Structure 1
Amino acid sequence: MKLKSNVLAISVLVILFGGILLSSGLGWWQTESSKEAATFTEGEFAGMPNPADIRGSYTFGDVQANFGVPAEVLAQAFQVETSDPAAFPVKELEAQYEDSAVEIGTASVRLFVALYTGLPYDLTVETSYLPDSAVQLLQTRELTAEQNDYLASHTVTLDTLAAPEAAVETAPVVEEEESDTFIRGKTTFAEVLSWGVTREQIEAVLGLPMPAENLTVIKDFVLASGLDFESVKTELQAVVDAR
């Protein structure tokens, strides 16, 4: 049996929009990404939100909703001056601390939230720094000896942030061979290419073409493209380390 074209077209529309309406009614249809953090799947913290899943697209309000850390506390910790802390995007910290010799951004928020709430967090997965204002707030929490030792070498004072050259002196000592190929806030595409990483590998991490000028600073390009520098840096560093 052949269906007339107009009948077929109407049938397709009914099936398509009917499916959307049904999915929406059942809560399956979403038009925007979820801001609900992934949860731990095993152990004593099973079912609780995982700080490692905090993304740059989150606002302080999203972090509060997921982890119970007040947006005002986050603003105080990271010295964010705004009339609406809940609306402040986590990824904006990278721009606020762009003159710092060490990265303070999404990874810093993950670390702070984990230590503030007592939720598990692997300190070896990514290098995270906190401003001293955040560490002062954490002094009221119960921290392990390992966590205190980590903070002792990963705290940046406000004076240090104002003078990046001083930050180099106070930052943890890094082995020479690692520091030569470690992506920092001022690293350029040319430097990464010189380490043996190809344009194709870099563009696979970025998800978009590299700029024509190889001397472009990676962080500047990533932020201008609306990407999360902490995430890009972590993925690109893995490519560098694996070459």
Structure 2
Amino acid sequence: MIRLKTIPLAVITAASILGGIMMAKAVGYYETTASKEPVKFKTGELAGLPNPADIRGSYTWQDLENAFGVPAVEAAAAFSAPDHALDPATRVSMLEEVYAGKVPEGLEIGTGAVRIFVSLYTSLPMEFEEGSVLPDAALALLASRPGADIVALAKLAIPGSSGVPMQAENAAAQAQHQSAATPAATPIPPAGTGSGTGSSDGSSTGTASTDRVIVGKTTFGDLYDWGLSEAQVASVLGYQPGPGTQTIRDSATANGQEFSEFRTKLRSLLDKTSP
């Protein structure tokens, strides 16, 4: 029987592994980093264009520029807080930390807000997430874009914000007075409320009740009260949920996960359980 010494055998094994990786890279089967290319629309006039709804917290502002053409420096500056300037190389998930405690309870500036911002900047459609608001600088940047809907932008402002453009406030006030006489559907729901999907006959059906909106203070107990089982929640989290009094945000943070991604998946489950 031929015996190989320990050291030569280890060298052969390591060489085989490295050789396999190099071969896999050569044929495109091996990637050392996660893809930063969002999924694309597959049908209609938008087929082949990137979908802003697929933006993830792991994306940097530079990734967004590469994928959507939104200038990284401008976007990072628009989402910077007075006490925290963002670098284009910063992940957008950092926003949840930057704006923690700086917006009213039940609202947030996080990955969901970035998705909305990119959607409006590029005119690529998506269903907006309840509870997401935009910083004043981001609203000002969007307001300067050709064809900007000032009334819609005003609904994404932080309540009581002093930086909302005056024309947006005036337009929003006028729209409220005119809504009774001329009802019209707006593409953006007010921050913190459920969204609706219109049908061809002019009717609309809500996709989420204001009583079932997942925000930072939503607990696991709330999810159970709304009809989800512990097993369903665990399937989304990838781990066993905490006590009923624990908020989903706190659980995500404690486990190194992104609250915004959990929220999107949990909301999808809630929509399926709607009466």
Q: TM-score range by the shorter chain?
A: 0.7 to 0.9
The unaligned stretches of length 5 or more in structure 1 are: 161-169
The C-alpha deviation readout for 1:200-241, integer Å capped at 9, x for no partner, is 111111111112x32111112112322221121121122223
The unaligned stretches of length 5 or more in structure 2 are: 163-189, 195-205
For residue 216 of structure 2, what is the aligned residue in structure 1?
185
Q: Distance in 1 between the 2:96 and 2:217 partners?
A: 12
Q: Distance in 2 between the 1:36 and 1:82 partners?
A: 27
Query: Which of the pair is proportionally richer in helix?
Result: 1
Q: Distance in 1 between the 2:49 and 2:269 partners?
A: 31
Residue 216, structure 1, aligned to residue 249, structure 2 = no
For residue 132 of structure 1, what is the aligned residue in structure 2?
136
Amino acid of the structure 1 residue aligned with 2:250: D
Contact 1:98 1:185 in 2 (8 A): no
Greater relative contact order, per chain length (Cα 8 Å cut-off, separation 6+): 1
Amino acid of the structure 1 residue aligned with 2:109: I
Contact 2:77 2:86 in 1 (8 A): no
Q: Distance in 2 between the 1:5 and 1:183 partners?
A: 63
For residue 29 of structure 1, what is the aligned residue in structure 2?
30
Q: Distance in 1 between the 2:49 and 2:193 partners?
A: 35
Root mean square deviation, CA, Å: 3.1
Q: In 2 relative to 1, CA 105–203 (structure 1 residues): closer, same or farther, beyond 3 Å?
A: same
The C-alpha deviation readout for 1:112-154, integer Å capped at 9, x for no partner, is 1122233x122x353342222211111111236xx54432322
Contact 1:59 1:89 in 2 (8 A): yes
In the superposition, the TM-score normalised over structure 2's length comes to 0.68
Contact 1:153 1:172 in 2 (8 A): no
Amino acid of the structure 1 residue aligned with 2:69: G
Aligned residues: 224
Compute the displacement of 1:79 (Å).
2.2
For residue 260 of structure 2, what is the aligned residue in structure 1?
230
For residue 94 of structure 1, what is the aligned residue in structure 2?
96
Amino acid of the structure 2 residue aligned with 1:207: G
Q: Distance in 1 between the 2:159 and 2:134 partners?
A: 9
Amino acid of the structure 1 residue aligned with 2:138: A
Amino acid of the structure 1 residue aligned with 2:260: E
Contact 1:132 1:157 in 2 (8 A): no
Q: Distance in 2 between the 1:108 and 1:32 partners?
A: 25
For residue 150 of structure 1, what is the aligned residue in structure 2?
152
In the superposition, the TM-score normalised over structure 1's length comes to 0.76
Q: Distance in 2 between the 1:184 and 1:29 partners?
A: 37
SS in 1 for 2:212: coil
Compute the displacement of 1:14 (Å).
7.7
